[in-house]
Amino acid sequence: MSVFIIAEAGVNHNGSIKLAKRLIDAAVDSGANAVKFQTFKAENLVSKNAIKAEYQKKTTDALESQFDMLKKLELDIDMHKNLISYCQEKGIMFLSTPFDHDSIEMLNELGLQIFKIPSGEITNLPYLRRIGSLGKQVILSTGMSTLKEVGDALNILIDAGTLKQNITVLHANTMYPTPMEDVHLNAMLTMQKEFGVAVGYSDHTQGIEVDIAAVAMGAICIEKHFTLDKSMEGPDHKASLEPKELKKMVLSIRNIEKALGYSVKKPSPSESVNLDIARKSIVAKQYIKKGDLLNDNNITIKRPGNGINPMKWDNIIGTNAIKDYQTDDLI
């Protein structure tokens, strides 16, 4: 199964439908499987007095409240319908993360078949229970979570009606950007082993190397923020990839998928032609007369490899030559 790559537009549309469509175009050009936005009503998500995260203060007006920042980034239902239609036209899957109950209902009514749960909702029992009851595909981000919290969230989803095989758990770190020493990619494998679920990685590091490493380790889903321009105003632009970087990431992941190949150790089709060229055979070290005893003094091992395999050396030593051999003749 091919790795499912989510190009995370998030709120990098800055509230503009025109910008959102340009992000969709960039996602299509990158070769990603889906482009994902974020669905919320600010009044349902944060109180008017909620402060911003430190990284948000650095990338937006530090004096502005989190509520005011998010209010400008909302997408209403008509914008959702417009973007879903545009994605269908462009041949890419539309996804969006709901951040409140009204948003869950809206996305369900719009027909989404995959629900992405953000890290911040992993301890929100009513939220998890409602998504679980829909019986859809679920992608669960686990930033800031302990192993027990992940297990609890999975149990809620499953008990509510979601099949375990329809859940993918994403390892994540919610710091934008994530320091490399805080990635702890091995935790992805811990969750896979502990819960027996498909795993992936939601990445907030700078660059693309961790995403590639995650795929090499067994991730079946990769989510990565992208923007049209890192210098744009907004909370997530600076920790996002630009279109050329996103395209490079997708291509790199697809190459790694090819490189992983099968688990059987055998010559590949492309290298089979090198067997006779690179390997060696038992050959005459000097002129050998028919009937002479073959020994270390008159035979040796040289290329090409289309004669007797040198692994049969012990079987040849001590036998008699069946014909005359010139130097370098295959035995």
**Which positions of the chain have pLDDT values less than 70?**
52-53, 55-63
Amino acid at 95: L
Structure confidence at residue 1 (pLDDT): 74
Tracing tokens 């989404």 back to the chain, one arrives at 112
Specify whether 92 is located in the same domain as 79: yes
Instruction: Supply the CATH number for residue 254's domain.
Output: 3.20.20.70
C-alpha atoms less than 13 angstroms from C-alpha of 170 in its C-beta half-sphere: 27
Q: What is the pLDDT of residue 57?
A: 66
Note down the domain range covering 134: 4-260
Matching residue, tokens 């400008």: 72
Tally of domains in the chain: 2
Q: Does residue 25 sit in the same domain as residue 66?
A: yes
Same domain, 49 and 173: yes
| The pLDDT of residue 63 | 65
Assess whether 256 and 269 both reside in one domain: no
Specify whether the backbone of 184 is left (phi greater than 0), alpha (psi in -120 to 50) or beta.
left
pLDDT tens per residue, range 10-57:
999 999 999 999 999 999 999 999 999 999 987 877 877 777 667 666
Whose CA is closest to 118, among 14, 11, 273? 11
**Residue 110 buriedness (CB in 10 A; 0-12 / 13-18 / 19+):** middle
pLDDT of residue 56: 65
Tokens of 60: 């937006």
Domain CATH for 281: 3.90.1210.10
The last residue of a domain, from among 260, 293, 318: 260
- What per-residue confidence (pLDDT) applies to 46? 80
> 184 with 91, same domain?
yes
- The reply to whether 222 and 313 lie within a common domain is no
One domain, residues 230 and 318: no
- The predicted-structure confidence for 215-261, as pLDDT tens digits, reads as follows 999 999 999 999 999 999 877 888 899 999 999 999 999 999 999 99
48 phi and psi, to 5 degrees?
-70, -10
> CA-CA distance, 17 to 37, in Å (whole number)?
12
